[in-house]
Amino acid sequence: MSWWRAGAIGAARKRFEEDDDLDAPLKHQSVALIVGVTGIVGNSLAEILPLADTPGGPWKVYGVARRPRPAWNSDHPMEYIQCDISDEEDAHSKLSVLTDVTHVFYVTWANRPTELENCEANGKMLRNVLNAVIPNSPDLKHICLQTGKKHYFGAFQVFGKVAHDTPHHEDLPRLESPNFYYTLEDILFDEVKKKEGLTWSVHRPGLIHGFSPYSMMNAVGTLCVYAAICKHEGIPLRFSGLKAAWDGYANCSDADLIAEQEIWAAVDPSAKNEAFNVSNGDVFKWKHFCKVLADKFEVGVVEFEERSESNNLEVMMKEKGPVWDEIVRENGLLSTKLEDVGHWWFVDLLFSVESPLDNMNKSKEHGFLGFRNSEKAFISWIDKMKAYKIVP
């Protein structure tokens, strides 16, 4: 349920209604620029922002992505802009002409071999966007920057070695190691000073559950692809991780919930110039979710086995490209290559440690009361993968 449709109607919606009639159309016009619109949260923003009851609306939406617009994203009412924001000239020519933007939702990133390279590449991308938009959008009010939990436990190269103790909260100091999230924050803080009244918010989800065949870290999509291959080959699912990940408590961040928090922060004064964790508000265990996944694909599950080469997904899936091609062909699926929809390294990394937990206290104290039932949401994302014919 959307936070503004919950029993306690969100503070932002109340603030933007002009009378007591909750069915009256919202009269405030906003213009969103979603940078990374084909990503896992960008796609959710593109679905939610145009809805009639979205706070701050009615919204006009621009969506920016590097690749041509995909079929699974084509029914969202927005103006799609193909743009490589790592190219300063391309970013300036495509984005500086969008003079009516009121809110920027920056929900993209690039992956490089080292964290120092991540800092350089991602910093350049954000700077290119802000340099094109801030001077040319006189009505620009707010910039939402999405980062993540690596703010608290470090980049992939130091994963599990320098982390803060859990549960993570927003007041923890930065770690003493390179982190492109810190680079992005510093750029954001510097750039908003260039325009009087411009505000910001930073959003830190954990493991994101959502829908996007283009996401580099789509755990639900990757697990669906793995389950489909198991079904095709008549073998059970095997958990590719450690006992602590199988048996320990985990939490996740629903992509729609993240989008809702970012919209709340964009329009509610109580959220301005703050950083917020965003997670579903409950916990789960992967040993239970593996059974949920198996049931959805009608396969069995092997009880926990110690990690070895035989149950490491990156190794198991190394030669499965032709198998996936056969599954796509036989089931009339959207044409994809296994390397595009199966991010085995990420799931193996995810299952290599006990999940770091956070809390939503600060977000709730500032007025955002959204939540998700993680198991129901997990099932809904699997169903969406099937409905869009990404998996059978």
Q: What is the DSSP string of 100-113?
A: T--EEEE------S
Q: What three-state secondary structure class fits 335?
A: coil
27 counts as catalytic? no
CA dist 207 and 188 (Å) reads 23
- Out of 124, 150, 296, 320, the active site residue is 150
Q: What three-state secondary structure class fits 390?
A: coil
Would you say 131 and 194 are in contact if contact means Cβ atoms under 8 Å apart? no
Q: What is the DSSP string of 164-202?
A: PPSSB-TTPPPPSS--HHHHHHHHHHHHHTTSTT-EEEE
181 counts as catalytic? yes
Tokens of 269: 């004064």
Q: How many CB atoms lie within 10 A of CB 387?
A: 10
CA dist 309 and 62 (Å) reads 45
- Out of 62, 80, 181, 214, the active site residue is 181
What secondary structure letter does DSSP report for 388? T
Would you say 205 and 146 are in contact if contact means Cβ atoms under 8 Å apart? yes
Buried-state track 326-339, b at ≥16 Cβ within 10 A, e below 16: ebbeeeebeebebe
Residues classed as catalytic: 150, 181
